[in-house]
Amino acid sequence: MRNLAVFIAKNYFFFLFLFLETFCIYLIVQNNRFQRASFINSSNQVSATVLSTSANIQQYFYLKSENERLAKENADLHSHDQLAFSILINDTYTSGDTTYRKKYVYTSAKVVNNSTNLRNNFITLDKGSKQGIKKNMAVISSSGVVGHTQNVSENFCTVMSLLNSKTTISAKLKKDGSFGPLNWDGENFAYASLNDIPTHVKLLKGDSVVTSQNSTMFPENIMIGTVDSYYMESSKPFYTVKVLLSTDFKKLTHVYIIENKLREEQEALEIKTEAENKD
Amino acid sequence: MSNTIIRNIIRFFVLVFVQVLIIKNIELGRFINPFLYILFIIILPFETPKWLLLFIAFILGITIDMFYDTAGMHAAACVLMAYARPAILKLFSPRDGYEFGTQPTIQYLGIPWFLSYAGILIVLHHFILFYLEIFRLQEFFSTFLRVIVSSIFTLLLVVISQYLFQRKKEQE
């Protein structure tokens, strides 16, 4: 026992190193399993305050282009009032009930921290549980899909950006509805790839790619991007489509967080059905 | 002695803020992510106790992790780098050892010495960091390219900031 103590004391540098490194690895692994370690991320108060101050200053530089964009968006909304309402709010109609039921609730939020040049990118927003934000809500900008919320603190939330190796979004081609998983290959922040599109589909450059009806997070028909090019996977009867993203992740300043009011109900039902059919 | 401690504490905060508020926002392409903040570990004084070195590296890494949302990755890379530092200093040690009270900087030991010393530490740090980030071998070569290119940029920034520091010292 004494020998062991002497041995450790002699090599304390190595053991201390081993201890700290193990702790780091533990943090990383825990972070992978539960998505985020609860305290070392940018939704914690200290770093979030610094980052939001920095974002506040930065936004002054974008005010002009941002105002132009908002004015344009307003004009857009005014000019197709009815159309915009039915697409964006996506009210559902139930038979036997003559009133509409609200399915999606929009909350606007400001980006306080954003990255595009890492392999796994995250975005921090200035809305949190106090404003009713929960985990796994969809996040879009006025031009297209951004990602989904991940960790929520009182006043901030972190968003797993579309530019993340762990993000997969169910997408479809607007013109014929064939759908497949869309994810980011890490090459360029302007492009993502849409997989498993059957080869009988006639693809054209510029075809719209939108969110599919299979997602419980995103409303249907939210713009993702346009077809840029496509190729056939060797030995697979599917196309892989390179999609030019409609969201400019570098200029992201204001986004909308979307709550699906019926999501929990739908998922609970699906899980129940799955469990019943297992045996 | 207390002067050195105060100077290092100030340097810690300055480097962290420069890293997370300025360098993090500079986009130089997907392959280039310089991490200037590790300059702090590189130029700690020679007589820093080894245990303190590890703790400082850990705290520095965790601080950067908070801003980069990478729980533990920067800390792991920094701790490994701090662990390797004494061995690399020993490897490049001059015949009669290092002078007491000096720091491992260009000013005291010249540019060829500093380039090889800092270069090894930076590549080590970036290597661990980028492979922990990707956490698989699929994109081995593109990650490796990223390690090399980013290391060169970090080294460039480190050397430039060294010259800025040096000029200030001559005026004192």
| pLDDT tens figures, B31-69 | 788 899 999 999 888 888 888 999 999 999 999 988 887
Q: A116 with A63, same domain?
A: no
The Cα–Cα gap between A23 and A144 comes to 39
Q: Which of B23, B64, B69, B73 to mutate to test the interface with A (most CBs of A within 10 A)?
A: B69
Question: How does residue A92 score in pLDDT terms, banded at 50, 70 and 90?
Answer: very low
Mean pLDDT for B79-102 is 85
Q: A109 with A54, same domain?
A: no
Kindly state whether residue A40 falls inside one of the protein's structural domains: yes
Question: pLDDT digits over A96-118, tens only?
Answer: 444 555 567 778 888 888 888 88
CB contact under 8 A, B33 and A117: yes
The secondary element (H helix, E strand) that includes residue B47 is: none
Given CB atoms, is A12 within the 8 Å cutoff of chain B?
A: yes
CATH number, domain of A238, equals 2.40.10.340
For chain A positions 154-183, those within 8 Å of chain B (CB to CB) are 158
Q: A50 with A156, same domain?
A: no
Residue A80 CB burial class (10 angstroms; 0-12, 13-18, ≥19): exposed
Q: How close B75 gets to chain A, by Cα (Å)?
A: 6
Mean pLDDT for A118-140 is 88
The three-class DSSP label of residue A225 is strand
CB contact under 8 A, B71 and A28: yes
Q: A117 with A250, same domain?
A: yes
Kindly state whether residue A200 falls inside one of the protein's structural domains: yes
List b or e across B82-108, with b for residues whose CB sees 16 or more CB atoms inside 10 angstroms.
bbbbeebeeeeeeeeebeeeebbbbbb
Nearest CA in chain B to A150: B69
CB contact under 8 A, B79 and A21: yes
CB contact under 8 A, A40 and B62: yes
DSSP state of B139: T
Kindly state whether residue A180 falls inside one of the protein's structural domains: yes
Question: pLDDT digits over B94-122, tens only?
Answer: 777 777 777 888 888 888 888 999 999 99
Kindly state whether residue A251 falls inside one of the protein's structural domains: yes
Q: A188 with A128, same domain?
A: yes
Kindly state whether residue A81 falls inside one of the protein's structural domains: no
**Mean pLDDT, chain A, integer:** 80
Residue B52 CB burial class (10 angstroms; 0-12, 13-18, ≥19): exposed
CB contact under 8 A, B67 and A24: no
Phi, psi angle pair for A60, to nearest 5° = -60, -35
Greater pLDDT, A234 or A138: A138
Per the structure, the complete domain to which residue A159 belongs is given by: 100-263
The Cα–Cα gap between B118 and B111 comes to 10
Instruction: Catalogue the long-range contacts made by B150-156 (C-beta closer than 8 Å, 24 or more residues apart).
Output: B150/B31, B150/B32, B150/B33, B150/B34, B150/B35, B150/B126, B151/B119, B151/B122, B151/B123, B151/B126, B153/B28, B153/B32, B153/B34, B154/B34, B154/B35, B154/B36, B154/B38, B154/B122, B154/B126, B155/B115, B155/B118, B155/B119, B155/B122, B156/B34
Chain A residues near residue B33 by CB distance under 8 angstroms: 117-118
Provide the domain count of chain A: 2
Q: State the pLDDT at residue B81.
A: 92
Kindly state whether residue A240 falls inside one of the protein's structural domains: yes
Q: How close A210 gets to chain B, by Cα (Å)?
A: 26
Q: State the pLDDT at residue A221.
A: 85
Q: How close B62 gets to chain A, by Cα (Å)?
A: 8
Chain A residues near residue B29 by CB distance under 8 angstroms: 117
Chain A residues near residue B30 by CB distance under 8 angstroms: 117, 186-189
Chain B residues near residue A28 by CB distance under 8 angstroms: 71-73, 76, 132
Q: A24 with A122, same domain?
A: no
Please say if the pLDDT value at position A161 is more than 60.
yes
Q: A227 with A118, same domain?
A: yes
The Cα–Cα gap between A220 and A170 comes to 10
Q: Where are the strands (E) in B37-135, listed by range?
A: none
Q: State the pLDDT at residue A256.
A: 86
Q: A147 with A228, same domain?
A: yes
Please say if the pLDDT value at position A91 is more than 70.
no
The secondary element (H helix, E strand) that includes residue A192 is: strand A191-198
Q: Which of A28, A115, A160, A252 to mutate to test the interface with B (most CBs of B within 10 A)?
A: A28
Given CB atoms, is A53 within the 8 Å cutoff of chain B?
A: no
Q: A23 with A138, same domain?
A: no
Kindly state whether residue A4 falls inside one of the protein's structural domains: no
Tokens 């702090």 belong to residue: B40
Partner residue opposite B71 with nearest CB, options A12, A37, A186: A37
Q: A234 with A107, same domain?
A: yes
Please say if the pLDDT value at position A84 is more than 60.
no
Q: Which of A8, A14, A39, A40 to mutate to test the interface with B (most CBs of B within 10 A)?
A: A40
Partner residue opposite A117 with nearest CB, options B27, B72, B134: B27
Kindly state whether residue A10 falls inside one of the protein's structural domains: no
The three-class DSSP label of residue A152 is strand
Percentage of chain A beyond pLDDT 70 is: 84
Lowest mean pLDDT among A84-98, A214-228, B108-122: A84-98
* Residue B60 token pair: 């520095």
Q: A158 with A204, same domain?
A: yes
List b or e across B143-169, with b for residues whose CB sees 16 or more CB atoms inside 10 angstroms.
beebbebbbbbbbebbeeebeeeeeee
Q: A58 with A120, same domain?
A: no
Nearest CA in chain A to B54: A17
The Cα–Cα gap between A125 and A157 comes to 5
Q: How close B112 gets to chain A, by Cα (Å)?
A: 29
Given CB atoms, is A110 within the 8 Å cutoff of chain B?
A: no
Q: State the pLDDT at residue A42.
A: 58
A·B CB contacts under 8 A: 101
Greater pLDDT, B134 or A17: A17
